[in-house]
Amino acid sequence: MINLVSLNIALPKKVNLNGGSKKHLTGIFKKPVDEKIFLDELGFRGDGVGDSRIHGGKDLAVCSYFVDHFPYWEVELDREMKPGAFGENLSLSGINETQINIGDIFRVGEAEIEVSQPRQPCHKLNKVFNLQAMACKVQTTGYTGCYFRVKKTGWVEPDSELERIQEGLGGISIEMVNVLMFKEKKNPDLLKKVVSLQALSVEWREKFQNRL
């Protein structure tokens, strides 16, 4: 059973990351909310990203992370992990990258969301976790979480149920796409399957198309 553990939002603000003197505009410090939030095609109202060149947009409207990975990170990093730790909007349990496919559509509250790509770890994770290798660790483990686009807008409450209402074509999991992006970069059979997925984000389809 898939559970929505926490619904998290934050508007971007300039902060000192990792004690540095330079301020970075970031929306990564998501906090749990206890009221319903409207979800439109660009994401949750009252939420935002710091760098719209690499985050946000219709293909990356909603970021999710799988809290079943938290025990691993707590041992690896020797710190407590709480919902929102990875800057995710949806903290989910009962599912991981092997069990969720590109193109899967879920109903959450009044809204419907479609899996579009893995979350690509960026350098800000290094600063947030005060560990230069953090983004690399996320990439290596494959514990990336994923992004959704919004197929139907609507209100979402923190205790909304998450129900898979349609399976993605091709059965290509987030894990498989991560492997193709970061490890088996020239796998021709998998490349051909992945570039044919219309539900995959435009940016990642173009990246894989360039490899063929």
For the chain, what are the domain ranges? 3-170
Q: Where are the alpha helices (DSSP H) in the chain?
A: 70-77, 123-128, 134-141, 174-182, 188-195, 202-211
Class of domain 3-170: mainly beta
* pTM metric for this prediction: 0.95
Banded model confidence at residue 56, pLDDT cuts 50, 70, 90? confident
Q: Which residue has the higher pLDDT, 18 or 30?
A: 30
5 close to 32: Cβ distance less than 8 angstroms: no
pLDDT band at 18 (very low <50, low <70, confident <90, very high): low
pLDDT-above-90 percentage for the chain: 82
pLDDT at 19 over 70: no
- Cα–Cα distance, 89 to 184 (Å, whole number): 29
Backbone angles phi, psi at 194, to 5 degrees: -70, -40
pLDDT digits (tens, 9 = 90+) for 94-147: 999 999 999 999 999 999 999 999 999 888 899 889 899 999 999 999 999 999
Question: Residue 8, SS3?
Answer: strand
Mean pLDDT of 54-63: 90
